[in-house]
Structure 1
Amino acid sequence: MSSMNPGVNPADETIGTKGLSVRFLVSGENSNGSVAAFELMVPSAQRLPAPAHSHDHYEETIYGIDGVLTWTVNGKPIEVGPGEALCIPRGAVHRFDNNGTRDAKTLCVITPAAIGPDYFRETFGLLNAAAGGPPDKAAMMEIMRRHGLTPAMPPPA
């Protein structure tokens, strides 16, 4: 018998700040590390508070549920709306923004499950600690690197 206890939304926890939130549906602990899936909710007119980044150990597939998110992948903006999907390959620098007037919800699928709820708990903890101000950039980059995300260096001014 496997020690895994299958269930619906085993990591059913909403992690977030001011409308920007993540709700894990499947985590690596529930899939033998093969897949992680979470809903990402982004309020209208909200830019990603973390820097653009890449990850070398997993693909990220985005599926639009409601509203439109603009994903910038290797410098190219790609709008993903309801019923549309985008696979972000390993090593591609990307970020997302909601440039629209309605809140957006997407499903994000990470294969293999190299990232989990802990990354988002730490990141949102940092954002909440900033109390609306800019988050501690060095601390944000340290969290990202520790969880396998490589922050993109901003272009020289």
Structure 2
Amino acid sequence: METIRLGGLELRFKQTGEGTGGALDLFEMTVLPNARMPVPHYHESWEETILGLSGTTSWKVAGRDVELPAGESLFIPRGVVHGFRNDTQEAATCLCILTPGVLGPGYFRELAALVAGGAPDPARMREVMLRHGLVPAPAG
């Protein structure tokens, strides 16, 4: 199974829209200590459900802070700005389910390649995000 590393994030796809007839994307994500999502964003074409498997991640969803420990879940509707981080000293793992399955691992591979070279160009990151259906949240 392929592991995609994106800064302090590790993703392992279990199912893709390609293999599920577009029904869902399913991946396991490990967030290393003190890591965060590179850019808060929203998506217009899919919902996201997160299930905490181990450790605790901290999410900001529609401006609200939400702690997600193991065994708890979080639903993020289309169009809702969200981001996450791991403020703890232990890795946290969650299962991410995107419905329908229209994102796939290609987006994460592209972003990982940008981040691997050091500080990525914000304009290039934005272009990759928008091309894959993620809309970066306005700063502030």
Which has the higher Rg, Structure 1 or Structure 2? 1
Task: Say if 2:40 is the partner of 1:55.
Answer: no
The aligned counterpart of 1:8 is: none
Provide the C-alpha distance between the structure 1 equivalents of 2:6 and 2:99, rounded to a whole number of angstroms: 26
Match for residue 101 of structure 2 among 97, 100, 113: 113
Q: TM-score scaled to structure 1, two decimals? A: 0.86
Contact 2:27–2:95 (8 Å) recurs in 1: yes
| RMSD of aligned residue pairs (Cα, Å) | 1.0
Pairs within 5 Å for 1:85-104: 85-104=73-92
Structure 1, unmatched stretches of 5+, are 1-11
Comparing both structures, which one devotes a greater share of its residues to strand? 2
Identity of aligned residues (%): 44
Displacement after TM superposition at 1:83 (Å): 0.5
| 3-state DSSP of counterpart to 2:42 | strand
Distance between the aligned counterparts of 1:126 and 1:20, measured in 2?
A: 14
Match of 1:40 in 2: 29
Q: TM-score, normalised by structure 2?
A: 0.96
Q: How many residues align?
A: 140
How far 1:27 sits from its partner (Å)? 0.4
